[in-house]
Structure 1
């Protein structure tokens, strides 16, 4: 039977081995001040100034003096389209209500109506969201609020787990079809030594995993099975 000192040494040797094997974090995103620059946005512009229609939005389409063509309540489908009388599918997601109205107006004017007047009004809009993944207590998609910052966003996910790598918090953002991102140190932000970056709708926050902490936790949990620290 292995004595307690030998068991302790064995556990420390395992931890040393895992520590030596732990690889660094080399994301294809910016870190330090470059990370802040990559996703920089003024706090008063944390929500888009021009609302773009999205899947699931409910709109009304009024065609002046054409009650048979007017739709008082119609939902943008999962493909981002509206299906309208006579003209069929019209791409709606990604454009403003005013732009959609002009597109519908042109479609009716080409074949069916002379000088149509079309008004599109948003009746119900889907909430802005962001997502939190990785080492947090409750990963998922959350409603975005104006002025949301990284600390508040992670708090919504019930904070990082015990094995989270607090200096490897990655924020991904898509801007004009390009995916950008930055790496942030949550502990330094908590202490006030680094600024708390603004989170935008659609951002994806990934909280990194500390391999050494995770290994240490796993060893402690498995101690009764492998005999580490077992009294003799």
Structure 2
């Protein structure tokens, strides 16, 4: 009987020590993949400028299917492309039927939102702000809840067509479309 109690106490002490131990951030999950330029996705709003063609220049939203719709050339797939790639595709479509030497520029007018869940005052969807970190995202969501782990967060991100999840410090940069999860602390 005494041996069972000793085993239970040892197990409880071991669990308590494990809970108190600092885990190393798994930022390597994101670093292991090659750095890639920003790619467009649903929710982005784009400023498309076709030089000398004011009737084609406008702000276009990337729809839920990942496309934009422009006059004369119709729908164009945008998801997964950079702004430069999309500009070249629009030039190609305009050149094939309507303009001799079209020059197109595409800029991101408004980035798609980020999402924050878990131990924050107000979970939800928020507009992305350039230069944002996990810490600023928490501030936008009203701050930490009383039970929040204030040392790290979990980010879910699409990279290269794959969903990647990693634990990161609060100073880690956030990208448009990221989902941030703040977990509850142990003690």
TM-score between both structures, scaled by the size of structure 1: 0.53
Equivalent of 2:123, from 115, 139, 147? 139
The 3-state SS of whatever aligns with 1:32 is: coil
Other structure's SS at 2:136 match? helix
Aligned with 2:176 (options 195, 201, 223): 201
Q: Which consecutive unaligned segments of at least 5 residues does structure 2 have?
A: 1-11, 13-21
Secondary structure in structure 2 of the residue aligned to 1:169: strand
Superposed, which structure 2 residues align to 1:1-232 within 5 Å? 32-33=23-24, 35-40=26-31, 52=40, 55-62=44-51, 70-78=55-63, 79=65, 80-85=67-72, 87-110=73-96, 112=97, 116-122=100-106, 125-127=109-111, 129-166=113-150, 169-183=153-167, 196-209=171-184
Number of aligned residues: 162
Mean alpha-carbon deviation: is it higher for 155-164 or for 52-61?
52-61
CA contact (8 A) 1:82 1:90 kept: yes
Separation in structure 1 between the aligned mates of residue 25 and residue 167 of structure 2, nearest angstrom: 9
Distance 1:167 1:159 in 2: 13
Question: Bigger relative contact order, structure 1 or 2, given CA contacts below 8 A and separation 6+?
Answer: 1
Larger-Rg structure: 1
| Unaligned residue ranges in structure 1 (runs of 5+) | 1-19, 21-30, 190-195, 214-232
| Alpha-carbon contact 1:53-1:94 (below 8 Å) kept | yes
Provide the secondary structure at the position in 2 that maps to 1:161: coil
- Cα distance per residue 1:62-89 (max 9 Å; x no partner): 4x6xx5x95132523514222331x332
Deviations 1:18-40 (A, max 9, x none): xx9xxxxxxxxxx9336121234
The Cα shift of 1:126 comes to 0.8
Contact (CA 8 Å) 1:82, 1:92: kept in 2 or not? no
Cα RMSD (Å): 3.8
Check conservation: 2:45, 2:111, Cα contact below 8 A: no
Offset of 1:175 from its aligned partner? 1.1
TM-score (norm 2): 0.63
1:93, distance to aligned residue in structure 2 (A): 4.3
